[in-house]
Structure formats: structure tokens, C-alpha cells
Amino acid sequence: MRFDVSIQTEDFDLSAEIASLRNGDKSVGAVCSFIGTVRDRNEGDDVSSLELEHYPGMTEASIYKMLDEARNRFDIQGAKVIHRIGLLMPLDQIVLVAVTSAHRGQSFQACEFLMDYLKTQAPFWKKEGIPEGHRWVDARVSDDQALQRWGIDAKNASHSI
Amino acid sequence: MKITVRYFASVREHIGLSQECIDTESVDLATLRNELINRGDNYSNGLSAGKAIRMAINQTVCDENTRLTENAEVAFFPPVTGG
């Protein structure tokens, strides 16, 4: 069983991360991964850069908590979450979630669950460079709705709390 | 009581500080937020009542009625946007 979180400025290599996650375990029959990358458009504007800030300590703890929740819900054998911080450019990789399991269904579901959880519950903030300057990215109600599909009430984008 | 207050993202930029140690008589997060808002424009721009602000004590998200404790690490930040 391997469950690991890394918050880093450096880029990552999917093949190397998956090899490390599988770790020669012959019981693994499925590997599912998601990579989020920096787009050059958001809210109708050209985006030239993306800067990521986080809350050191709380970030790692909140993602380990998500991994525990994923292990409780799904029959998975390992998971790796990498989230980059600092200054990124369009095309750069931002986030990796990779999950292993015996059969594909559990790793597909756990991977999506972890991404939905990460979007609204981990203390990261994005600031994008646009032609007029810089702006903080707004939280999306659709991300809260994505987590609600899993029975978790998220109010991240709400103004009332 | 003495506490450490940390600010992140747009809240940090408005206030112009990433953290500070303060001596407060506020008993809970809501009172502390009001106390800070009354310090001046930079604080009220970052924390004013109409803004969606999340709060944490000792790195756990809490609601505004949560009581402060001696030496607590309190944080104020906007809704998160990672992933």
C-alpha cells in the first residue's frame, strides 16, 4: 500500500510516478491517472501565467485526509497526489492524481473522487496573468456540485459562509 | 490572549502581511474578524463582511463561532481554487 502526497515547484514525470506507485506489485491490475494542465484561456480572457499559492502544512494534511477517505470508499491499493506551486505557464502540468487497484472501476472512481475533493477542499489559490494585469481565480459552484455527487456537502464557492 | 494570524491569497494582498502575532480579547473567530476589520482600510478591504472568507484554527477549517485558544494559529483566506 502506497499513499503519498507531494507539494512541489518542480515538474513531474507521469511514467516515473506510475512506476514508483506500482512498485512491482503483481496484484495491481489497473492504474488510473489524471493530469491537470495550465490553459491559455479562462473566463474569456487570454491567460499568460498562473501562480499558485498554498498553506504549507494544512495542504498536505488535507490531502492525506482525502486519501484516507478514498481508501475507505474504494478498494484501491495505492495513490499519489502531486500538486505544483509557484509560477506556471500555459502547457505546464499543475496536478497529478494516480490510483492503483485490482480492477479498473475502483481506480477510475477513486481518481475522480480525489480530483473533485481536491478542487474544493485543499488550500490552494490560483492567480492568473491576463492582458489587464493579474487576477485571483474565483471558486466555481460547479466544483462544489462535483463533490456533492459523492455525498459530500461542499460550500467552497458559496458567499454565505 | 496571544495568537498568530496568517493571511493568504487576496486577503494577504489587501492586508499587506502574510502573518502577524497579536494580543486579542476576542473570544471567537467572528469577533476577531470584526476586530481586524476595524483596524483600517487594508484590513476591511481584505476581510469585510460581504466577502466570502474561510477561517481556520490550527490548520483546520472552522466556522465563525469557533472559540480562540491561547497560542492558536488562526488563518483567513478566500475560497480555494486548486486542482
Q: Please, what are the domains in chain A?
A: 2-148 (3.90.1170.40)
| Cα–Cα distance, B16 to B43 (Å, whole number) | 9
Q: Which residue in B6, B63, B81 is closest to A137 by CB distance?
A: B81
In angstroms, the CA A119 to CA A154 distance is 10
pLDDT in tens, A60-73: 999 999 999 999 99
Q: Write out chain B residues lying below 8 Å of A152, CB-based.
A: none
Instruction: Say yes or no to pLDDT of B63 above 90.
Output: yes
Looking up residue B32, the CATH number of its domain turns out to be 3.10.20.30
A92, three cell numbers: 505546464
Would you say residue B37 lies in a domain? yes
Q: Which domain holds residue B11?
A: 2-77
Is residue A160's pLDDT more than 70? no
How many structural domains comprise chain B? 1
Report if residue B10 sits inside a domain: yes
Distance CA B83, CA B36 (A): 31
CA distance A16 to A22: 10
Task: Mark out the alpha helices in chain A (DSSP H runs).
Answer: 14-22, 58-73, 104-121, 141-148
Grid cell, residue B60, equals: 483546520
Cβ partners under 8 Å of residue B9, min gap 6: A53, A125, A127, A136, B77, B78
Helix (H) / strand (E) element for B21: namely strand B19-23
Give the one of A61, A115, A123 whose C-beta lies nearest to B80's C-beta. Answer: A123
Per-residue pLDDT, A1: 62
Question: Closest approach of chain B CAs to the CA of A26, in angstroms?
Answer: 31
B9-57 residue pLDDT tens: 999 999 999 999 999 999 999 999 999 999 999 999 999 988 899 999 9
B73 three-state secondary structure: strand
Question: Residue A34 has which C-alpha cell?
Answer: 489524471
Nearest CA in chain A to B57: A58
Q: What is the pLDDT of residue A155?
A: 86
Identify the closest residue of chain A to B73 by CA–CA distance: A58
B82 within domain boundaries: no
Closest approach of chain A CAs to the CA of B27, in angstroms?
19
**A122–chain B Cβ distance below 8 A for any pair:** yes
* Cα distance between residue A9 and residue A37, in whole Å: 14
* CA pair distance A9, A69, nearest whole angstrom: 26
In this prediction, residue A25 has a pLDDT band, given cuts at 50, 70 and 90, of very high
Q: Determine, for residues A127 and B9 on separate chains, whether the beta-carbon distance falls below 8 Å.
A: yes
Query: Residues of A with CB below 8 A from B80's CB?
Result: 119-125, 139, 156
Reported as a pLDDT band with limits 50, 70 and 90, residue B70 is: very high
